[in-house]
Amino acid sequence: MLTKEIPVAKGLPLIGSLVFLSADSQKHEQFFLNNYQKLGPLFKVRVLGQELIIFAGPEANMFVTQHGTRYLTSREAYLNIAQEFGETSVIVLDGAAHRRSRKVVDQFLNSTAIAQFVKPMIKTTLEYIKDWQIDQRIELFHMLPKIIFNQFTSVLLSQTSLTDDFYNDVYTCITTVLKVNFQQKSKSALRQSAYLKAKNRVIVFIQKLVEERRKTEQLRDSSDVVDFLLSVKADDGQPLTEEEIFSCVLIILSAGLDTVATTSVFLIYEILKHPEIYEQVMAEVSAVFDNRIPDLEDIKKMKVLRGAAMETLRIHPMVFMTPRYVQHPFDYQDYRVESGQIMYFALGVSHFLPELFPNPYTFDVGRYTPPRQEHKQPGAFAPFFVGSHMCAGAKLGEVQLMLTAATILYTIQPELDSPNYTIKKVLYTEKRSALTGKNNFYVRSKRKALI
Ligand code: HEM
C-alpha cells in the first residue's frame, strides 16, 4: 500500500516558501538542496496558497530517463509557447509527433552536422570583435548574446545583415513568453503592443526567409539549415509542413541563444578567476589558433578548456528546474504522484551533492576525464536535462561555448576589469527570463591578435 504522504518543505504560515519565486539564485538553489537532503527526492512546497510538487536529485534525473515518456508530457508544461508560436515545436510535442520532429532536428544538430559550423562561427565571432580596442572595457552579459545570435543567424540561416532591432525582437519574444509561462509576468504581457509587434516581426521574418529560399532553391551553390529543412523528408516520407519548418527556424533563433550566451560569460569569468586554469587554457588556445582558424578537431584537443566548460555547466546550470505535466499517475518509493498537475524537476540539485561531485563548490576541471569522470554517474550531470526532451543542441552548445571563449581569449587576452569582481547570479531580471548576472561584468582587452 502506498500510504505515505509526500513531505512538505517548511515555510512561513500563509505565504509558504516564497523563495520558490525569488530571483536570488543562490537562495533558490540552497532551498532545493537543503530540502532534498532533509526530505528526499520527492517533496512539496507551498507558495501563496498553492502546493507544488518537486522531484529532485539524481533520482529525479534517472526517473525521467527511464520513465519520462510513460508518465510525463511537455505541452501542458510549456503551454504558452504552444499557444503563442504553434503546436509543432519539438519542445511542446510528445509521443510519436515528438519523435518525428526530433529526428529532423537531430539531423542538423548532430556531431557530424555541427563540424561544418565551427570555422564559420569562429569567423563570425572574429568579425564581431574586430573593432574592440586594446584597453577597452567590454561588458560581456550584453556582448555575448549578440555574438551568439550572429553565430546562429549567419552560419545556420545565412543571414548576415540583421539589425539589433531584430535581435531585440527575438529577445522580447523569448523573455515575454517564458516569463508568462513561469508566472514571473501576468498573461496580459502577451497582449501588450510591444510584444505583439515584436512577435509579428519575427513571424514575418521567418515566413519571408523560407518563401524567398523556396524561390532560389535551385540557384544556390551552398546550403544551410533552411535548405535542409526544405528538402528533408520526415520518417513518413513526407516533406515538412510550413508550420514545422517555421518551428525549426524559430528554435535556431531562440533555444540556444540565452543558454549559450550566458554560459559563455560564466565560462570566461571562471577562467579569469582561476589563474592556474587561465594559464593552461591560454596555452591550449594559442596552440590551436597558431595563425589559422581552428576546426572541430582542434576544438576537441583543448582538454582543459573542455573541463572548464563542463564545470561551468555544472556550477552555473542555466536551467536548475524544469516543469513537466503528470499525464498518468505513478508510484515512486512509498508515494503516489497523482496525474493532472505540473511537477517541477530540480535537475541541478545533483550538481551540488558531495557524494557525486566531491567539494561541489570547487571549480575543478579534472572531474570529467578518466579515471574520475564524475559526470558519468547515473543522474549526476544534467545541464541539458535528460530523457527524450534532453537538449537537442547539447553538442553544438558545448562546442559553441568552447569556440567562443577560445576566440575571445586568444584575440584580446581579457583580464578582469576589477580583480575582486564576483558575479552575483539572479534567476531573472526585467530583461531576461533565465539565469544571468545581477550586475554588469566588464573585462579589459589586453591585446589584439591577428588571425
Ligand atoms: C549551454 C547551452 C545550452 C543549454 C544549457 C541548454 C539547455 C537545455 C535544457 C535544460 C533543455 C530541456 C528543457 C526542457 O525540456 O524543459 C533544452 C532543450 C532544448 N534545447 Fe538546449 N541548451 C543549450 C543549447 C542549445 C542549442 C545551441 C540549441 C540549438 C541551436 C538548443 C536547442 C534545444 C532544443 C531544440 C530543445 C528541445 C528538445 C526537445 O524538447 O526535444 N539548445 N536545452
Ligand 1 pocket residue status of 170, Cβ below 6 Å? no
pLDDT band per the 50, 70, 90 thresholds, residue 218: low
In a domain, 399, yes or no: yes
Does residue 288 fall inside a structural domain?
yes
Per-residue pLDDT at 219? 66
Q: Write the single-letter amino acid at 332.
A: Y
Is 173 annotated as ligand-binding? Answer: no
Beta strands in 97-228 (DSSP E): 137-139
pLDDT: is 219 or 325 the higher one?
Answer: 325
Closest ligand 1 atom to residue 322 Cα is 16
Q: Whose CA is nearest to atom 29 of ligand 1?
A: 393
Could you tell me whether strands 425-426 and 436-437 are parallel, antiparallel, or unpaired per DSSP bridges?
A: antiparallel
Interhelix angle 164-181/140-150, nearest 10 degrees: 100
What end-to-end distance do the CA atoms of the chain give, in Å? 68
pLDDT above 80 for 34: yes
Question: Cα separations (Å) of 438 from 141, 253, 321, 322?
Answer: 10, 24, 19, 22
* Residue whose entry in the numeric block shows the C-alpha cell 524567398: 212
Q: Is ligand 1 within 6 A of the CB of residue 178?
A: no
Task: Report the DSSP beta bridge partners of residue 50.
Answer: 47
CB-ligand 1 contact for 384 (6 Å cutoff): yes
Q: Please tell me the residue having the least CA distance from ligand 1 atom 36.
A: 391
Residue 375 included in any domain:
yes
Question: Rounded CA gap, 173 and 198, in Å?
Answer: 7
DSSP 3-state assignment of 416?
strand
Distance CA 406, CA 288 (A): 9
Say if ligand 1 is within 6 A of residue 261 CB. no
Does ligand 1 lie within 6 Å of residue 412's CB atom? no
Q: What is the torsional sign of CA 310, 311, 313, 314?
A: positive
Count other C-beta atoms under 10 Å from residue 443's C-beta: 23
What is the Å distance from ligand 1's center to 256 Cα?
A: 6
CB 155 within 8 A of CB 124: yes
Testing ligand 1's pocket by substitution, the residue of 73, 259, 342 carrying the most ligand atoms inside 8 A of its CB is 259
| Size of the chain in residues | 451
Q: In what helix (H) or strand (E) does residue 210 lie, and over which residues does it extend?
A: helix 193-216
* Helices 242-254, 193-216: crossing angle, 10 deg rounding: 120
Which band of pLDDT confidence, cut at 50, 70 and 90, is reported for residue 425? very high
**pLDDT band (50, 70, 90) for residue 161:** confident
* 396 within ligand 1 shell (Cβ under 6 A): yes
Asked, for residue 449, whether it belongs to a domain, the answer is no
Residue 80 lies in a domain: yes
Whether 399 contacts 296, CB under 8 Å = yes
- % residues pLDDT > 70 (the chain): 98
Amino acid letter, 106: D
Q: Is 179 in the pocket of ligand 1 (CB under 6 A)?
A: no
Is 383's C-beta closer than 6 angstroms to any atom of ligand 1?
A: yes
Q: Which of 107, 228, 344, 391 to mutate to test the pocket of ligand 1 (most atoms within 8 A of CB)?
A: 391
**pLDDT tens-digit series, residues 121-146:** 999 999 999 999 999 999 999 999 99
Task: Say how far apart CA 66 and CA 379 lie, in whole Å.
Answer: 11
Contact 97, 69 (CB under 8 A): no
Domain that holds residue 238: 18-444
Query: Does some domain include residue 6?
Result: no
Which stretches of 217-274 are DSSP H helices? 225-231, 242-254, 257-273
Q: Ligand 1 pocket, 288 CB below 6 A? A: no
Q: What cell was used for 283?
A: 596555452
Instruction: Output phi, psi for 342, to 5 deg.
Output: -85, 135
How many CB atoms within 10 Å of residue 118?
Answer: 23
What grid cell was written down for 395? 553538442
The ligand 1 atom at the shortest distance from the C-alpha of residue 385 is 10
Is 193's pLDDT higher than 60? yes
Position 1 in a domain: no
Q: Distance, CA 320 to ligand 1 centroid (Å)?
A: 13
Residue 8 lies in a domain: no
Return the residue whose CA atom lies nearest to atom 24 of ligand 1.
256
Spatial CA neighbour of 306 closest among 325, 287, 284: 284
Q: 269 CA to middle of ligand 1, Å? A: 22
Atom of ligand 1 nearest to the CA of 98: 41
Q: What CATH number should be reported for the domain holding residue 303?
A: 1.10.630.10
Does the predicted TM-score (pTM) go above 0.95? yes
- What's the 356 CA to ligand 1 centre distance in angstroms? 24
Report the number of distinct structural domains present in the chain.
1
Q: Ligand 1 pocket, 251 CB below 6 A?
A: yes
Neighbour count for residue 229 (Cβ, 10 Å): 23
Q: Does residue 54's CB lie within 6 angstroms of at least one atom of ligand 1? A: no
* pLDDT for the residue numbered 140: 97
> Cα separation of 366 and 58, whole Å?
21
Cell of 187: 498573461
Name the residue with the closest Cα to ligand 1, atom 15.
389
Could you tell me if the CB of 392 is within 6 A of ligand 1? Answer: yes
Question: Which atom of ligand 1 lies nearest, measured to the CA of 252?
Answer: 30
Q: Please state the atom number of ligand 1 nearest to the C-alpha of residue 101.
A: 41
Angle between helices 95-109 and 242-254 (to 10 degrees): 60
At 1 the pLDDT is 57
Give the pLDDT confidence of 256-302 residue by residue, as tens digits. 999 999 999 999 999 999 999 999 999 999 999 988 999 999 999 99
DSSP 92: G
Q: Please indicate whether residue 322, judged by its CB atom, sits closer than 6 Å to ligand 1.
A: yes
Q: Is the CB of 263 under 6 A from ligand 1?
A: yes
Predicted confidence band of residue 18 (pLDDT cuts 50, 70, 90): confident
DSSP state of 420: T
Residues in contact with 215: Cβ distance below 8 Å, sequence separation at least 6, in sequence order: none
Q: Which atom of ligand 1 is nearest to the CA of 396?
A: 27
Segment 161-174 mean pLDDT: 94
Q: How far apart are CA 103 and CA 97, in angstroms?
A: 10
| Partners of 139 in the β-ladder | 442
